[in-house]
Amino acid sequence: DGGITQSPKYLFRKEGQNVTLSCEQNLNHDAMYWYRQDPGQGLRLIYYSQIVNDFQKGDIAEGYSVSREKKESFPLTVTSAQKNPTAFYLCASSMRTEAFFGQGTRLTVV
Amino acid sequence: GDSVTQMEGPVTLSEEAFLTINCTYTATGYPSLFWYVQYPGEGLQLLLKATKADDKGSNKGFEATYRKETTSFHLEKGSVQVSDSAVYFCALSDRNTGGFKTIFGAGTRLFVKA
């Protein structure tokens, strides 16, 4: 079945560590996105990519980095520069207007 | 820039009650409009969509009509069930340079009591 797979589902990070969240899609979509969701809040765009080897900052890119070496993959690294990384992270992809979402990764700083 | 505003929650209803969640948007172009639903601990699922004025999107008893004159896309359901309890997001997608980007409202949490 086609879809978007995020892993891991739960992730724990120690202070000062970088961690990478995986996002893979087999929908052959050109565009991919990372959103952050805080408890009781909406979605805020971190980074997006419309084509391989190209990506743009969203509204809250500070403390995050991404790469887009393959069409299927768009990993997100949460760096130690991100002061408050505990949140629910959602990856999405789209061909034109409709976005398809993964199941999310819940990141907690311990 | 483009934006989406939806009514604040939570909305609490009894089973079989009528549901309306208001959503208005601002956009420089001619966007497509969406409602997504998020169940606890999960990602977002597309509930319905409309791509042009006066289009009505519908799915699972939910409906929303694209009203360009009022820049609105209100979500309605005639008789809610306990299983409809979730967070509902209104969204738009408009062509930007080289592609599309989806903009979401803040979400409205719905609780349905048996």
> Could you give the residue ranges of the DSSP H alpha helices within chain B?
none
The amino acid present at A57, given as its one-letter code, is: K
Say if CB B65 and CB B73 are below 8 A apart: yes
Q: CB of A61 within 8 A of CB of A46?
A: yes
Give the pLDDT of residue B110.
97
CA end-to-end distance (rounded Å), chain A: 35
CA distance A101 to A27: 11
Q: Residue A1: is its pLDDT beyond 90?
A: no
Amino acid at A8: P
Of B34, B44, B101, nearest to A90 by CB-CB distance is: B44
pLDDT tens-digit readout, B86-105: 999 999 987 664 456 788 89
Residue A57 CA to residue A49 CA, distance in Å, equals 9
DSSP A82: -
More confident residue, B28 or B33: B33
From chain A, the residues in CB contact with B9 under 8 A are: none
Secondary structure E strands in chain B: 3-6, 11-14, 19-21, 23-26, 32-38, 44-50, 56-59, 62-65, 75-77, 86-96, 99-104, 108-113
CB atoms within 10 A of CB A98: 19
Which of the two residues, A85 and B95, has the higher pLDDT score?
A: A85
The pLDDT of residue B75 is 98
**Could you give the CA distance from residue A35 to residue A33 in angstroms, rounded to a whole number?**
7
Q: Does A39 touch chain B (CB under 8 A)?
A: no
Query: A42 and chain B: CB distance < 8 Å anywhere?
Result: yes
Contact A30, B99 (CB under 8 A): yes
* A contacts of B89 (beta carbons < 8 Å): 42-43
Count of A-B CB contacts under 8 Å: 64
Nearest to A103 among B43, B98, B99 (CB): B43
State the Cα–Cα distance between residues B67 and B59, nearest whole angstrom: 18
